[in-house]
Structure 1
Amino acid sequence: MNTFKNPIISGFYPDPSICRVEEDYYLVTSTFEYFPGVPIFHSRDLVNWKQIGHVLDRPSQLELSGTEPSAGIWAPTIRYHEGTFYMITTFVVARRGKRRNFYVTAKDPAGPWSDPVWLEGAPGIDPSLFFDDDGKVYYTGNRVPPTGQTHHKHEEIWLQELDLDAGKLVGDRLSIWDGALKNAHAQEAPHLYKKNGYYYLIIAEGGTGYTHAVTVARSKSVTGPYESSKRNPILTHRHLGKQSKIVNVGHADIIETQNGDWWLVCLASRPYGGHYRNLGRETFLAPMTWEDDWPVMCPDTGKIEFEMESPDLPEHKWPSLPTFDSFESKELDLRWNFLRTPDEASYSLTDRPGFLRLNLRPESTVEYNTPSFVGRRQQHLDFTATTVLEFSPAKQNETAGLLLIQNHDYQFRFEVALNEREQVIQLVRREGGNEKVVASSPFKGNVIYLKVEADGQDYYFYYGEKPDQWSVLVEKEDGRILSTDKAGGFTGVYLGPFATSAGTTSDNYADFDWFHYQGTE
C-alpha cells in the first residue's frame, strides 16, 4: 500500500480550496495581511504540490496599507469553467469592520489574474461560486440571519445568482441553510456541488479553532429546501480532545479525480509544547466516499491522520525546493512575502546585485504598517534559519536583523543596534505589546552571521563573525508567544530579514547576502 504524509502543504496555508482541470489540480489558500495574496499551487497527484504564483500579486488587485493583523484576505475559493479560472474571496477591511467580496479571473492559473470585480450587495464572508449545468452561476456566502441572531456567532448561508457578464448579483437573495445543529455557531465557508441529481452544500461550523467542524446538507433544487445530514458533523476532531496531535480540523473543499474517486482538502493544525500552534493552520488531504447519497469523510477511521493511503493517481514529484537563497535573481522567490502591500523603496535586489537590500524607514514591525521586512513561513516544528548581514547603525533607533513574528505585539527581533554609543547584537522579546531585551552582547564589526534554531518550542539564537564560528546569545527561549493561542489571530509564524529606523527618517540600509532555511520535522 502506498501512503502519503499530512500535511500536504505545511505551515501557514489555511482555508484550502481546490479545482481540477482534466489531470491537473490547483489549490489556493488564505493570506490575511500578507502580500502577495493567495498563493496558488499545482499538483498532478494531490499529494505533491508546487507553487506556481500568487493570484493577487500587484497593488491594483490588493492594497493592504493599514490592514490590522489577521484581517485582509480570507477564505478564497478557486473554480474552473469553460477555459477560465475564477478566484473569489473576502477582503476584510478590519476584523470587526467592513467586509468586501470580489472575484478575479485568469486563463492561465499562474497568472496574470484580472483586477478585482467588486460585488455590491454581498454581505458576509467566505464566498464561493457554483456553475450549474443549465449555464447559471450562483454565489454562496454567509450572513447574519435577517430575523436576527438567536445566539453568539449565529450565521446562515445564502445564495444568489451571479451575472458574470455584468459582474453583478441578480435576482432574489435566498436563505438556504441555517446550519446543521441546534445552536451551532460560525456557519461559514459554503461550497455547492452537484451529484446524482442532488445539490450538496458543505460548510464549516464551530469557529476555526478547537471546535471546528464540517457539516453537509442536500437538496433536489439549488434554491432549496436543504436537508441536513443526520450524520453531521461529517468531519471534526473536537471530540478527540486537545491532546490530539491534529486539531481544529475543518473548512473542507472536495474534488473528484479523473478516475472517479473523491478526496477532500481541509485545514488543521499540529499543536506542540502543549496546545500551541506556531505553524498556524495547514493544508491536509483525506479520502472520502459516498454512501446513501451522502458524503462520508475519512471512511473507517473518521479522522485525519498523519499517514494515509495515497490517491489512485500516478505519483508526480516536483524538483525539491532549494533551502538556500543567494538573492541572485531579480525577483524574490515565491516563498517570500511582505507585511501588507510593500513600498518599492523598502527593498531592492538590484542596488547591490547578489544581496537583498532593506532600506531603513520610519515604519517598524510593531504597528499596522508596511515595514522593511521580507519573510517566509515557519513550516517545521524544528528548523534552522541562517543569514549574513552587513550593517552599521548610525543612530540609536536604527536596527536590522532577523524577525520572528506572529503579529505586531508578539515577536522576537534578533538585531544589531546601538546601546548608547556601543554597537550590540541583542534579542528583543515583545509579548502583549511589552518589550524586553532578553540578552545583549557588544559586537564591533559591520558583518555578522545570525542563526536561529528551533527545537520544538525552544528557540536558540547564535551570532558570529564567521560562518560556523558561533557564539550563543540566548538558549531555550520560550517560543509559545509566537502561537495564536497566546497572540490571537489566524496566521502562523513568519521569519526573515528586517530593518527599521523606528519613527525617524534615515538614508541607511542593511544588506543580506543570503538566507538559509532548513526544516527537520
Structure 2
Amino acid sequence: MTVVHNPILPGCHPDPTICRVGDEFYLVTSTFEYLPGLPVLRSRDLVNWEPIGHVIDRPGMLDMVGMRSSSGLYAPTLRFHEGTFYLVCTLVDQNDGGRGGNFVVTATDPAGPWSDPIWLDVDGIDPSIFFDDDGRAWMHGTRLAREPQWHDQTEVWLRELDLQEMELIGEEHILWRGAVLGAVWTEGPHLYKVDGAYVLLAAEGGTEFHHAISVARADAVTGPYVGNKANPVLTHRHLGRGADIIGVGHADLVEAADGSWWSVMLAMRPYGGYHYNLGRETFLVPVVWEDGWPVFAPGEGRVPLEVDVPFAIDWAPGATQGDSTGIVPPDDPRWTALRAVPTEIAVSSGDGWTLPLRAESLAEPLVPAFLGIRQQHVDVDVVVALDADLQDGEEAGLVVRQSERDHVRLSIVGGSHTDRRVSAIHRNGDGEHLLGEMPLACDATDSVVLALRIRGQAYELCAGRTPQELDVVAVADGAALDSVATGGFLGLWLGVHGTSNGAPTSTELHIRSFEYVPR
C-alpha cells in the first residue's frame, strides 16, 4: 500500500474527467484561454501521471482570438467506446461573439491526433457522453432551466447521439434540476451504469466555496431520477473558509482493474488568508458502493490530504506528482501560449525560445508574445536568462499572469544604453502602478537574469547580471492576483512576455533558459 498526497495534479487543473482502457487511466482537464488546450495525461496507478499530448494542439482547430480571460475551453468529458476515444467540451466566448458552443472530437490514440471539432446543435455548457450497453450513445449537459423556480437554477438535459452522423436525435429529456432547494449551477453531469441502474453525478452550488457533489439514480437512462437522501454526498462548504481544502466538486468516477472505484474532482487549497493562487486542482478520493449509491471517502466524508492507493507504483512522499522541476526545455508539455499554440508565436532554440515581440500587449485579449507554465507550488523560484536589443517603447521580461486585467510584469524597458532599466508593474483592472524600478548596468546586447522568489503570498521580483547577483526590484502581493481577488476561474501562470506596445517591430526576445525550482 502506498500513501500519496493530494492533489494528484497540483496547479490549475480544473474540471478533471477520467476513463480507463485496460490497465491505463486517461485524464483531461480544462484550459480556458491557454493553448495547447485540454492536456491528456496517462497513468497506470492514478498517482503518477504522464503528459502524452493535448486535444487542441494545432493551428486552426479553434478560433479564440479576442476571447477574454476565463473564456475558452470549459469542462471536457473523456470516454472510450469500441476502439475510439470521444471528448466533448464547451467553447465559451464571454464576449458573446457567436463563436462558442459544444463540440465533440475523436481519436484512436489519446496522444493524438484528434479530429477537428464537430459542433453540436445544443446550448448550455459541460456536455458529457454516455455509452449504454445496448450500443446507444447519449449526450447530456447543463443549462439554465427553461422554467426556473429560482434565479440561476439549472437543469441537466439528455438526448440520444447518432455516432454515424454525429448529431443529436430523438426526444429531449430533463433529468435533474439540483438536489437542494435553491441550489444554483447544477453542472458537470456524468452518467454511469452500475449493477443495472443509471447513476447521475452532478455538481452544484457554483465552482467556488459552496461547491458540492450530488447523485441521483434511475431504472432507465431517460429517468425519472431520484436523488440520494444523503445529498450532497460530498462537500467542504460546512467546514468554513479556514479548511485546508475548499470548493470540492465537479467529480468523475472510474473503476480500476481490481474492481475498486475512485473519483477525481476539483478543489482548492487556500493559503495566506482566503486565497488560492494555484487555482482549482485535481484531487483523488476512494469510492465504495452501498445500497446502489456511491460513498465518497468512506469513513471520512471529506477529501483527505493523504490517500492510500494499494496498487500505486513507487512514489516518494514530498515528490512532485505529474511534473518535473529544474530547467524547463522547449519540448516540455507545460508550455502554453494565449489563444495560439506556442509554435505559432515562437521558435525553440536549444534550451530556450526565440520569441519575436508583438504589437499586442498582455492587457489585450489577443495573441501577445507570451509563453508560460502553471504555478504548481506555494513556494518556488523561477529564474530566467534572456536578452533582447529593445527599442524605445518596447518591453520584455517575466510575468505573473492571472488575466489581461490582472498581472504583474518584471520588464526590461527599452531605451538608450545609459537609460536601460527594469520595472516592476502591477496591472489591476484598468490601471497600472509601478511597484519598483532599478537601472540596468549592462549593454543592450548582454543577457539579463530575471527571477521570482515566491514564498506564499510574497512574490519577490529580482534582476541582475547572473543568478548569483540578483537585486530585489519589488515585492508583489499574490493575494491581489488570485481569482478570489480578481474574479475568473484560473490559477496563476508564470512566464515570459515581450511587446512593442502597438508599434511595428522586428525585435526578438531570446529566452536562454527558464528554470522552475520548488522550495
Category of TM-score, reference length = shorter chain? over 0.9
Q: Give the superposition deviation at 1:326.
A: 6.5
For 1:113 and 1:400, how far apart are their aligned partners in 2? 35
SS at match of 1:165: coil
Whether the 8 Å contact between 1:70 and 1:95 is mirrored in structure 2 is no
Asked if 1 retains the 8 angstrom alpha-carbon contact of 2:12 and 2:491, the reply is yes
Tell me, what secondary structure is at the counterpart of 1:127?
strand
Counterparts in 2 of 1:27-46, with a 5 A limit? 27-46=27-46
List per-residue Cα deviations over 1:114-148 (Å, max 9, x = no partner).
1111111x1110000000000000001112223x2
Q: Which moved more, 1:194-203 or 1:436-445?
A: 436-445
Structure-2 residue corresponding to 1:118: 119
CA distance in 2, matches of 1:97, 1:175: 28
1:462 lines up with 2:459 in the alignment: no
Q: Which amino acid aligns with 1:405?
A: R
Q: Is the 8 A contact 1:390 1:447 kept in 2?
A: yes
CA RMSD in angstroms, aligned pairs only: 1.8
1:392 deviates by 2.7
- Opposite residue 5 of structure 2, the aligned amino acid is K
Deviation at 1:42, TM superposition (A): 0.4
Deviation, structure 1 residue 479: 1.1
How far did 1:355 drift?
Answer: 3.7
Matches of 1:343 and 1:334 in 2, distance apart?
11
Q: SS of the residue aligned with 2:480?
A: helix
**Does structure 1 conserve the Cα–Cα contact (< 8 Å) formed by 2:424 and 2:437?**
yes
2:412 counterpart letter in structure 1: V
SS of alignment partner, residue 239 of structure 1: helix
Partner in structure 2 of residue 230 of structure 1: 229
Counterparts of residues 88-99 of structure 1 (less than 5 Å) = 88-94=88-94, 99=100
What residue identity is the alignment partner of 2:391?
Answer: A
Once the two structures are superposed, the pairs formed by residues 111-260 of structure 1 within 5 Å of their partners are 111-120=112-121, 122-146=122-146, 148-260=147-259
Please state how far the C-alpha of 1:497 moved relative to its aligned partner: 1.2
1: distance between equivalents of 2:322 and 2:201? 35
Alpha-carbon distance change, 56 to 365 in structure 1, aligned in 2, over 3 angstroms: same
Look up the match of 1:435. 432
Instruction: Map 1:261-410 onto structure 2 (within 5 A).
Output: 261-315=260-314, 322-325=324-327, 327=329, 332-342=331-341, 346-350=345-349, 353-395=350-392, 397-410=393-406
What per-residue deviation string (whole Å, max 9, x for no partner) do you get for residues 459-478 of structure 1?
A: 11111112311222124x31
Secondary structure of the corresponding residue to residue 63 of structure 1: coil
Q: Distance in 1 between matches of 2:310 and 2:164?
A: 38
For the pair 1:423 / 2:423, whether they are aligned, the reply is no
* Partner deviation per Cα, 1:260-317 (whole Å, 9 max, x = no partner): 1110000000111101011110000001111111111111110001112224455589
Aligned to 2:2: 2
CA distance in 2, matches of 1:313, 1:498: 39
In structure 1, how many angstroms separate the alpha carbons of the residues matched to 2:321 and 2:482?
31
What SS does structure 2 have at the residue aligned with 1:374? strand
Q: Distance in 2 between matches of 1:36 and 1:368?
A: 17
1:104 counterpart letter in structure 2: V
Distance apart, 1:346 and its partner CA: 2.9
Task: Please state whether the residue corresponding to 1:62 is helix, strand or coil.
Answer: coil
Query: SS where residue 402 of structure 2 aligns?
Result: strand
Structure 1 residues 108, 313: CA separation in 2 closer, same or farther (over 3 Å shift)? same
CA contact (8 A) 1:345 1:359 kept: no
Distance 1:55 1:326 in 2: 22
Q: What number of residue pairs does the alignment pair up?
A: 511
Note closer, same or farther for the CA distance 1:203–1:321 as it changes in structure 2 (3 Å cut): closer
Secondary structure of 1:357's counterpart equals strand
* % identical aligned pairs: 43
The letter for the 1-side match of 2:378 is: L
Secondary structure in structure 1 of the residue aligned to 2:125:
coil
Distance 2:289 2:124 in 1: 30
TM-score (norm 1): 0.95
TM-score (norm 2): 0.95
CA distance in 1, matches of 2:344, 2:111: 26
Instruction: Output the CA distance in 1 between the equivalents of 2:97 and 2:115.
Output: 26
Inter-CA distance 41–224: structure 2 relative to 1 (3 Å threshold): same
Secondary structure in 2 matching 1:284: strand
Shift of 1:385: 0.2
Aligned equivalents of 1:221 and 1:54: distance in 2?
A: 35
Q: Secondary structure at the match of 1:407?
A: coil
What CA distance in whole angstroms lies between the structure 1 residues aligned with 2:322 and 2:209?
Answer: 33
Q: Which amino acid aligns with 1:362?
A: A
2:23 corresponding residue in structure 1: 23
Give, as a single letter, the amino acid of the residue that structure 2 aligns with 1:3. V
- 8 Å contact from structure 2 (residues 36, 342) kept in 1: no
C-alpha distance after superposition, 1:84-121 (max 9, x if no partner):
1111100112266754001111111111111111111x
DSSP 3-state at the match of 1:126? strand
User: 1:417–1:423: 8 Å Cα contact kept in structure 2?
Assistant: yes
CA-CA distance at 1:433 after TM superposition: 2.4
Within 2, Cα distance between the matches of 1:209 and 1:54?
26
Aligned AA (1:114): S
Which residue identity lines up with residue 394 of structure 1 in the other structure?
Answer: Q
> For residue 21 of structure 1, what is the amino acid of its counterpart?
V
Quote the Cα distance in structure 2 between the aligned partners of 1:297 and 1:96. Answer: 38
Question: Relative to 1, partners in 2 of residues 1:326 and 1:31: Cα closer, same or farther, differing over 3 Å?
Answer: closer
Q: Which amino acid letter does the alignment assign opposite residue 359 of structure 1?
A: P
Corresponding residue number in structure 2 for 1:62: 62
Amino acid at match of 1:442: P
- Aligned residues of 1:187 and 1:206 also touching (Cα < 8 A): yes
SS in 1 for 2:420: strand
Listed as ranges, the gaps of 5+ residues in structure 2 are none
Is the contact made by 2:48 and 2:321 (CA closer than 8 Å) also made in structure 1?
no
